[in-house]
């Protein structure tokens, strides 16, 4: 399993994470910021647990993020 975390308030809506993984990331047309699909909010941080198959693309999404608000970590199931 991996956990993806996003500090959404700091997102500048550049779309770079969507380019890396269009399944997990979607830009909101309401506020122009990116939404972590199925992410659950806790104190302004959104996170979701997903399968290992999404690891690579989301590491890329994290590396792409110009404001470094995405974190991807492997966790034990």
Partner 1 sequence: MTQNKIELMAPVGSFESLHAAIQAGANSVYFGIEQLNMRARSIANFTTDDLAEITAICRQHEVKSYLTLNTILYDHDINLMKSIVDTAKENKVDAIIASDYAVLNYAKQQGVEIHISTQANVSNIDTVEFFAAYADVVVLARELSLMQVAAITRDIKRRNITGPSGHLVQVEMFAHGALCMAVSGKCYLSLHSDFASANRGACIQNCRRSYIVKDKENDVEFEVDNEYIMSAKDLCTIDFLDEMLKAGVSVLKIEGRGRSADYVFTTISCYREAIDAYQDGSYTKEKAVAWKERLATVFNRGFWDGYYLGRKMGEWSDVYGSKATKRKMYIGKGVKYFDKAGAAEFKMEAQTLEPGNEILITGPTTGVVQATVTEIRVNNLSTAIAVKGDTISIALDHKIRASDKLYKIVDA
CA distances from 22 to 3, 11, 40, 43 (A): 17, 16, 18, 25
Rounded distance between C-alpha atoms, residue 29 and residue 43, angstroms: 23
Find the binder of partner 1 among 12, 41, 44, 49 (CB under 8 A): 12
Stretch 37-76 residues interacting with partner 1 (CB under 8 A): 63-67
Question: Does 33 contact partner 1 by CB under 8 A?
Answer: yes
Task: Tell me 18's DSSP state.
Answer: H
Q: What is the largest CA-CA distance in the chain?
A: 35
Binding region for partner 1 (CB under 8 A) out of 26-34, 39-47, 48-56, 69-77: 26-34
Binding region for partner 1 (CB under 8 A) out of 27-35, 40-48, 49-57, 69-77: 27-35
Which residues of this chain interact with partner 1, rule CB under 8 A? 11-16, 27-33, 63-67
């Amino acid at each position: 399993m991996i956990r993806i975390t996003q500090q959404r308030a700091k997102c500048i809506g550049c779309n770079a994470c969507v380019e890396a993984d269009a399944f997990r990331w979607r830009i909101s047309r309401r506020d122009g910021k990116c939404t972590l699909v199925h992410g659950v909010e806790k104190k302004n941080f959104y996170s979701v647990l997903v399968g290992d198959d999404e690891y690579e693309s989301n590491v890329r999404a994290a590396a792409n993020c110009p404001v470094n608000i995405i974190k991807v970590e492997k966790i034990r199931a």
